[in-house]
Amino acid sequence: MNLGLALFVLLGFLAVVLLLEGLYVYWSDTKSPEVRRVEQRLRAISAGGQVEEGELSMIRQRLLSESPSFQRLLLGMPRARQLDRLMQQAGDRNTVSHFLGVCAMLVLGGLLVGLVLRWPWFFVLGMVVVLALLPFVLLVRRRNKRLHKIEAQLPDALDLMSRAMRAGHAFPVALAMVGSEAPQPVANEFRITSDEIGFGVSADNALSNLAARVPSPDVRYFVMAVVIQRETGGNLAELLGKLAELVRERFKLFAKVRVLAAEGKLSAWILTMLPFGVALAISIVNPGYIKVLFTDPFGLNLIYGALAMMVLGIFVMWRIIDIKV
């Protein structure tokens, strides 16, 4: 065998080995089970990421319920994922099945109490509706309280990022500093965004996921400002400092608006609860006096008319104190 043929065989062998090695590296970096597990973890922690419908269903099965039967049932419900998103925004670590189970227990408990005490059917129906909606109202209240806390902590977080970038740190490092040094709950949201970028998600997608997890106008302003700056260029540290000042001024303005609307809210609560408080006091002092109101047909008509006018009054007062800024 001459020297040229030997070199050709040797180079051909090396080329095949390198080709196979390259294919293996490409597969291990994009299609391996480890990469898929990392992608699933990223999509699970970033509620709102761009995923396929089937993959999203597989990931959400673990979050909706711990029981396989309830998983299949909840995945067929059209609003189960929206409820799970609401629970995540409220910081609730329970599953959707646990939340719905609490609602069902409250409804059954109220129904049994009403049947045992033989209350009027409309009163039992109203109590069941109130008990069914009570967990949702509390969940929305917790979500709004958490979002309000994040909005209050956001200016300090932006100032921290601005100072870190002025000191020479990169944008992902500044995000990680907020996640490790800022108070909760804003630190947790920025830590998730920093982890996503660290796992290979683009900064634009990670910031979009942050805006989806925290549906706040101030967070959306931050995301849009960073995305636009990455496309057009500019001093990001100065931009974040100006944005922090703007968010603080908006927060002060909202506080003034809440103070001006506090009197109207207090009046609305007093006027709403006053008829029920008076009825309860009369039923305790003289039960026979108010019993006629529930037994006489004309009294029932008066109750229905009063409830309708109360609903109308609540709507009008709500529109008065709902000041748009």
pLDDT top residue among 200 and 322: 200
User: What are the pLDDT digits (tens) for 136-175?
Assistant: 888 889 888 888 888 888 888 889 888 988 888 888 888 8
Kindly report the number of other CB atoms within 10 A of residue 3's CB atom. Answer: 7
Q: Could you report the per-residue pLDDT of 247-286, keeping only the tens digit for each?
A: 888 888 877 887 877 877 888 888 888 888 888 888 888 8
Residue 56: what pLDDT?
36
- Judge contact between 74 and 96, C-beta under 8 A: yes
> Is-cis flag, bond preceding 185, omega within 30?
yes
Q: Dump the DSSP string for 53-113.
A: HHHHHHHHHHHH-SSHHHHHHHHTSTTHHHHHHHHHHTT--S-HHHHHHHHHHHHHHHHHH
Q: Is the pLDDT of residue 44 over 60?
A: no
Query: What average pLDDT is seen over the chain?
Result: 77
Q: In the structure encoding, which two tokens stand for residue 201, read together?
A: 């998600």
The pLDDT of residue 30 is 62
Q: Is residue 65 pLDDT above 60, yes or no?
A: no
Measured over the CA atoms of residue 180, residue 181, residue 187 and residue 188, the dihedral's sign is: positive
Average pLDDT over residues 98-115: 81
| Rounded CA separation 56/54 (Å) | 5
pLDDT at 73: 62
pLDDT in tens, 213-233: 888 888 888 888 888 888 887
CB-based contacts of 229, cutoff 8 Å, min separation 6: 236, 239
| pLDDT confidence bin for 108, thresholds 50/70/90 | confident
Q: Of 119-128, 189-198, 214-223, 244-253, which range is least confident? A: 119-128
pTM beyond 0.85, yes or no: no
Q: Return the SS3 of 216.
A: coil
Largest CA distance in the chain: 120
Span 121-139, average pLDDT: 83
Predicted local confidence at residue 288, as pLDDT: 79
Which pLDDT does position 33 carry in this prediction?
Answer: 64
What pLDDT is recorded for position 257? 80
Q: What is the pLDDT of residue 77?
A: 66
Q: How many CB atoms lie within 10 A of CB 85?
A: 19
Cβ–Cβ < 8 Å for 221, 243:
yes
Per-residue pLDDT band for 53 (boundaries 50, 70, 90) equals: very low
Helices (H), 286-295: 287-295
Task: Decide which of 186 and 57 is more confident.
Answer: 186
